[in-house]
Amino acid sequence: MSQHSHPPSAPAQGHDHEHSTLGEMDLRVRALETLLTAKGYLDPAALDRIIETYETQVGPHNGARVVAKAWTEPAYADWLRRDATAAIASLGYAGRQGEHLVAVENTPGQHNLVVCTLCSCYPWPVLGLPPVWYKSAPYRAKAVIDPRGVLADFGVRLPADTAIRVWDSTAEIRYLVIPLRPPGTEGLSQDALAALVTRDAMIGTGLALEPPAQAADPSGVAP
């Protein structure tokens, strides 16, 4: 599907279809897909192939590689700060819904949280398809009103003096959070580091995982 744009006065949330197991957006998408297929504008098989690609080949493991490289290579981290789209494309991650990527780096003083308040804009090349909750009206509304409350919902508690900055994605700009590198990971390879980087950590609703016990033990850290 082609990328959408944000109408300036689009309602942030519509009424809920309490009587249906499908959300309003799902109903709209199905109606549109049915209509376009009936008119011959859309090939359902081609659509299935696109979805399968993003479900099986493109996913958060791509973003995790970007983060692990940024953690271990200062020059790459610097490139990511200056031009994330190019730095990420250099690893082969580019394409639809990722034409303009911005990396936002967590620091001890600032945590970053990504939302699309109007719909579901998301950096597909590095994270794959967005989770259902990312597209939900409650997340989209609460992320801007009460970001600390959202983090608590996800089991994340930050120091009171850590500021939370919320980034509102658009069809033009998609954000990738670079989480803080966990302590005790100094000797880990990029592959081992990437395994600690979850999808939620790159949206900002989570933190990077603690390293496995033997890696946290100084005697287990590689020289």
CB of 118 to Fe ion, least distance (A): 5
- The single residue of 5, 90, 121, 189 carrying the catalytic annotation is 121
> Residue 206 and residue 172: Cα distance in Å, rounded?
24
**Shortest Å distance, C-beta 154 to Fe ion:** 20
Decide: is 194 part of the binding site for Fe ion (CB under 5 A).
no
Cα dihedral 167/169/174/179 (nearest 10) = 30
Neighbours of 202 (CB within 10 A): 27
- How far apart CA 97 and CA 118 sit, in angstroms, is 15
**Measured from the CB of residue 199, what is the shortest distance to Fe ion in angstroms?**
17
Active site residue 219: no
d(CA 147, CA 57): 31
- The pair of three-digit structure tokens given for residue 193, joined into one six-digit string: 């580091």
- Residue 116 or 188: which CB sits closer to Fe ion? 116
Q: Which residue is nearest to Fe ion (CB)?
A: 121
The alpha-carbon radius of gyration of the chain (Å, integer) is: 19
Q: What is the largest CA-CA distance in the chain?
A: 66
Nearer Cβ to Fe ion (121/177): 121
Q: How many residues bind Fe ion (CB under 5 A)?
A: 3
Could you say whether residue 203 binds Fe ion (CB under 5 A)?
A: no
Is 2 considered catalytic here? no
Cβ-proximal residues to 97 (8 Å cutoff; 6+ apart), any chain: 3, 121, 122, 123, 124, 125, 174
Binding mask 95-134 for Fe ion (x = CB under 5 A): ---------------------x--x-x-------------
Q: Is 192 in the site for Fe ion (CB under 5 A)?
A: no
- Euclidean distance between CA atoms 189 and 148, whole angstroms: 32
Does the annotation count 119 as an active-site position? yes
Q: Residue 84, Cα to own-chain centre: how many angstroms?
A: 14
What is the C-alpha separation between 115 and 169, in angstroms, rounded? 6
Nearer to Fe ion, 5 or 110 (CB): 5
Q: Is 90 a catalytic residue?
A: no
User: Of 9, 20, 119, 219, which is the active-site residue?
Assistant: 119
- By CB under 5 A, residue 150 contacts Fe ion: no
Least Cβ distance, residue 169 to Fe ion (angstroms) = 6
Residues in contact with Fe ion by CB under 5 A are: 116, 119, 121
Residues taking part in catalysis: 116, 119-121
